[in-house]
Amino acid sequence: MDQAIQLRGEGFVLRRWRADDLEAVLRHADDPQVRRGLSDRRAHPYMRADGEGLPHRP
């Protein structure tokens, strides 16, 4: 039974990471408008290996 918590707001849903999220992250991670709201510690350019290295909890 999946009891994942989701937080819904205007124009977004915050939920647990799924492996299929990586494609969207790769598509948007280097967009200047997206980067503006992210930490400077994130890799730039953001590569597939960066996303695959994220810690994932079951």
Residue 36 lies in a domain: yes
| Phi, psi values for residue 52, rounded to 5° | -70, -20
pLDDT of residue 55: 63
CB 34 within 8 A of CB 44: no
Give the number of domains in the chain. Answer: 1
CA distance 22 to 40: 19
Q: 3-50: per-residue pLDDT in tens?
A: 688 999 999 999 888 888 889 888 888 788 887 777 676 777 888 888
pTM: 0.57
Domain that holds residue 55: 17-58
pLDDT band at 1 (very low <50, low <70, confident <90, very high): very low
Residue 11 lies in a domain: no
